[in-house]
């Protein structure tokens, strides 16, 4: 039985290690991101796309029927006929549930949960750095400073061991952030083996910044930060 568990554990670890580096880096950025609660991403937007699970979760939270919600709280977006959007988020560029803060935070759509570092488009979730986001700018500045400290060097063997653990913790953090219960069950063994990101953030975050400094090209960070001036 122990050998079976060890095999399963190893398979889950290998699966996470095989995630493409850009996606892995964005998951780590998402985990390390600290929201400044400025409201920019809620009041100056280009639509809040909804998935079926989002509608179901919002209806449960709002205690309303699906038919009422789809009739009163959804609008289309040109060029995105296959996906419904929150009413007002396209035409008014503002989320209808924002009022000096998110009024449906526990039930917020998936695209809000992964904002600002993973972008939901027709290709699925892709890495993205959003403009005018104080939290993203702050994170990029931290990465830039670490890149200068790295001086063009390469990670050590010890770094790589730590970075492997960080990739796992960030992956689990994003699963929890998104509310993917089925995936959480699938990775239950890893959840027991690794402490949650939030519990060890003070220790993990500096190492995460170091990982990102090695992983993301300096010119990419420099270009993004120059565009924010």
Of the candidates 12, 26, 204, 213, the residue with the CA atom closest to the CA atom of residue 115: 26
Classify 125 as helix, strand or coil.
strand
> What's the pLDDT at 229?
79
CB-based contact 45:95 (threshold 8 Å): yes
> What's the pLDDT at 2?
43
For 177-209, the pLDDT digits (tens) are: 988 989 999 999 999 999 999 999 999 999 999
Q: Which two tokens stand for residue 21?
A: 């580096």
**Within a 10 A sphere around the Cβ of 62, how many other Cβ atoms?**
15
* Cα separation, 75 vs 47, whole angstroms: 9
> What's the pLDDT at 209?
96
The pLDDT of residue 146 is above 80: yes
> What's the pLDDT at 203?
93
Cα Rg of the chain (Å, integer)? 19
For 109-145, the pLDDT digits (tens) are: 998 998 888 765 555 556 678 888 999 999 999 999 9
For the chain, the average pLDDT equals: 90
Residues 6 or more apart in contact with residue 194 via CB below 8 angstroms? 165, 168, 169, 172
* Cα separation, 101 vs 117, whole angstroms: 20
Of 169 and 6, more confident: 169
* Cα separation, 100 vs 94, whole angstroms: 12
What Å distances lie between residue 7 and 2, 3, 13, 161, CA to CA? 9, 6, 10, 20
Share of the chain above pLDDT 70, in %: 94
Domain boundaries, the chain: 2-33+131-227, 40-115
> What's the pLDDT at 1?
39
């Amino acid at each position: 039985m122990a050998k079976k568990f060890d095999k399963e554990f190893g398979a889950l670890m290998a699966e996470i290690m095989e995630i493409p580096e850009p996606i892995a880096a964005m998951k780590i950025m998402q985990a390390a991101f600290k929201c400044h609660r400025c409201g920019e991403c809620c009041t100056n937007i280009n639509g809040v796309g909804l998935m079926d699970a989002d509608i179901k979760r919002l209806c449960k939270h709002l205690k309303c029927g699906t038919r009422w919600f789809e009739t009163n709280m959804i609008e289309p977006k040109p060029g995105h006929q296959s996906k419904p959007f929150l009413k007002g988020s396209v035409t008014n560029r503002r989320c209808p549930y924002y009022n000096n803060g998110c009024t449906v935070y526990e039930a917020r759509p998936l695209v809000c949960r992964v904002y600002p570092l993973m972008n939901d488009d027709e290709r699925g979730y892709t890495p993205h750095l959003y403009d005018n986001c104080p939290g993203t700018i702050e994170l990029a500045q931290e990465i830039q400073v670490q890149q200068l400290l790295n001086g063009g060097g390469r990670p050590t063997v010890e770094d790589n061991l730590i970075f492997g653990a960080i990739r796992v913790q960030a992956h689990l953090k994003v699963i929890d952030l998104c509310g993917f219960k089925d995936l959480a069950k699938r990775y239950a063994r890893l959840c027991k083996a690794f402490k949650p990101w939030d519990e060890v953030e003070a220790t993990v975050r500096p190492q995460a910044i170091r990982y990102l400094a090695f992983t993301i090209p300096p010119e990419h960070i420099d270009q993004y930060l120059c565009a924010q001036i």
